[in-house]
Chains A and B, each alone.
Chain A
Amino acid sequence: MWLGKNRRRLDEFFDVEGEKSEELRIVGDAGRVKWIGRDMTRGRIAVEGHAGMHLGSRMAGGAIEVSGDVSDWLGAEMSGGAIHVRGNAGGQVGAAYRGSLAGMRDGTIVIDGRAGLEVGQRMKRGTIVVSGGVRDFAGLEMRGGTIVLGAAELRTGAWMLRGTIVVLQSIPILPTFAYASTYSPTFLGLYAQRLKRLGVEIPVDEHAGAYRRYTGDAAIPGKGELLVWEPRG
């Protein structure tokens, strides 16, 4: 591993136990350790504590589970695999690095807590679920895939070209999104079944409410959709 510009041995910082394996368990606060699980293609990493920036960056397969919080660039430009964070995440979850054209290309990211700015920026495919709220610019310049958010602050879906953002609370809508209809999308029922297997529940009961559908962003102009849950009554 690297400390600044110097390559160092892992056991200089951690007590290392066990044999060579595809199962890795990191115990303790790794909140300042960056690039855990970078480019991983298989196996499983369990972090019992916090993790630093770029966790699972560009990963193509395998699974990462974190019991604590994670910093920025979680699953940035990942193309496969699954990440589950029990705590909160920073900004740029599944996003594209600065200057890069595409963010997350496939895979699944589930965050039980909150997340920061620019979640799913320029993502092309895959699923991001944030059960808590996210800050501004969720789905910024999104090109495809699905983002499910418990709540969101401003400018959700800004400059999106395609893809779907599902929000379970009322949010401010940009002027460049047009209201289309209020309905219960059929595909969301199937999607809810898949999300349930990941431990996430979204409302799909027609008696409980419906989704307001907005299309945009007209500034591009794009064909993305925002589905905002509206309980009945």
Chain B
Amino acid sequence: MGGKVSCTLGEVTNRADFIIFWGGNPAECHPRHFTKYSLTPKGRFVPDGRKGRTAVLVDIRETPSAKAADIFLQLRPSKDFEVLTTLRALIKDQRVDPAAVAETGLTLEQLQDLVDRMKKARFGAMFFGMGLSMTRGKHMNSGALLNLAAEMNAFTKFVCMPMRGHGNVTGADVVLRYTTGYPFGVNLSRGYPRYNPGEFSTVDLLVRGDNDAAFILGADPGATMPQPAIEHLASIPTIVLDPKVTHTSRLSRVHITTAVTGVSAPGTAYRMDEIPLPLAPALRSPYPTDEEVVRRIRRAVARRPAWQPVDENVRSAIA
């Protein structure tokens, strides 16, 4: 794996002349992305704005974003990995099987044309959405695109960036990364961070029933996770910090209402290019902020004596 070759959205605005959107629908899901960062604005090295950029959309269906793109490539569902792997071979002038390529819904000529255009670009950017990262292959689909972006740098400048959804998910990744060294799926139970997605990631822990308590901050797993995970959340002591009533807060033992960050509480949100943006509250809230609640819980926990193994006599009495 080649890691993530990325940049800020400011660089995309000022430099990118070839942009690929893969498995996403920014016209509806990130409506300001086209106009503010990626397509229409005039940049320092892209003075013609939209006319100076080529946009490609790769998706399994023709979404409203296709109208904004110069080239629309419609592939068959769950064929992203095959197409990306083929592109990796084509940029290195390797031979691929045209019949197997045709099973992806695209032709070899279409992919060769795309590769030629990518190589001719001065600055290419690839944005990918959940249509890539949450379909069959999941992290390997993302890995294939990250590798393609890294390898394209042998020919021209190329970067990639996930189109993040929901509030401040990038912030969670960034903060976990600079505090533990890993972006998610971190286990701190031994007193030091251990990383193993699939073993320590939230959904896997919940589905297997490995945890006996849950503390949920600014998320609604009760609405998005698989049923076994939701059932386990409902069966254990679950504490939710959220400004509003959610599916998760309904199944929790404790719901602490907190102020809305960015509206009635200050804070920091990370943009999808990992730029921290300070949030100034416009209103006052009678509720405490998430940070205040977490600090108070931490102080209360610190006052309690450390957990000790149960005494042998007590254990046998319980048995």
| A interface with B by C-beta (< 8 Å) | 2, 4-6, 8, 12, 32, 53, 72-73, 91-92, 97-99, 136-137, 140, 154-155, 158-159, 173-179, 217-219, 221
Q: Is the interface of B mostly helix, strand, loop or mixed?
A: loop
Interface-forming stretch among B29-37, B126-134, B160-168, B191-199?
Answer: B191-199
Asked whether, in the complex, the Cβ of A175 is within 8 Å of the Cβ of B82, the reply is yes
Assuming the A-B contacts A155-B137, A158-B81, are A175 and B104 also in contact, with contact meaning beta carbons closer than 8 angstroms in the complex? yes
Complex CA distance for A158 and B137, rounded to whole angstroms: 11
B307 adjacent to chain A (CB < 8 Å): yes
Assuming the A-B contacts A174-B82, A176-B89, are A5 and B97 also in contact, with contact meaning beta carbons closer than 8 angstroms in the complex? no
Assuming the A-B contacts A5-B191, A177-B97, A218-B95, are A136 and B137 also in contact, with contact meaning beta carbons closer than 8 angstroms in the complex? yes
Residues in B neighbouring A92, C-beta threshold 8 A: 198
B254 adjacent to chain A (CB < 8 Å): no
| B interface with A by C-beta (< 8 Å) | 81-82, 85-86, 88-89, 92, 94-97, 100-101, 103-104, 136-137, 140, 189-191, 195-199, 208, 210, 307, 309, 315
Complex CA distance for A51 and B206, rounded to whole angstroms: 19
Asked whether, in the complex, the Cβ of A140 is within 8 Å of the Cβ of B94, the reply is no
Residues in B neighbouring A218, C-beta threshold 8 A: 89, 92, 94-96
- Interchain CB contact (< 8 A) of A136 among B89, B96, B136: B136
Q: Give the Cβ gap from A9 to chain B, nearest Cβ, in Å.
A: 9
Q: Give the Cβ gap from A213 to chain B, nearest Cβ, in Å.
A: 14
24 contacts between A and B (CB under 8 A): A5-B191, A32-B210, A91-B198, A98-B196, A99-B195, A137-B140, A155-B137, A155-B140, A158-B81, A158-B140, A173-B97, A173-B100, A175-B96, A175-B97, A175-B100, A175-B101, A176-B88, A176-B97, A178-B95, A178-B97, A217-B85, A218-B95, A219-B85, A221-B94
Asked whether, in the complex, the Cβ of A176 is within 8 Å of the Cβ of B309, the reply is no
Q: Give the Cβ gap from A94 to chain B, nearest Cβ, in Å.
A: 15
Complex CA distance for A152 and B110, rounded to whole angstroms: 29
Asked whether, in the complex, the Cβ of A72 is within 8 Å of the Cβ of B199, the reply is yes
Q: Tell which of A73, A176, A221 has the most Cβ of chain B within 10 Å.
A: A176
Q: Give the Cβ gap from B218 to chain A, nearest Cβ, in Å.
A: 25
Complex CA distance for A134 and B197, rounded to whole angstroms: 20
Asked whether, in the complex, the Cβ of B140 is within 8 Å of the Cβ of A140, the reply is yes
- Interchain CB contact (< 8 A) of B189 among A5, A8, A73: A5
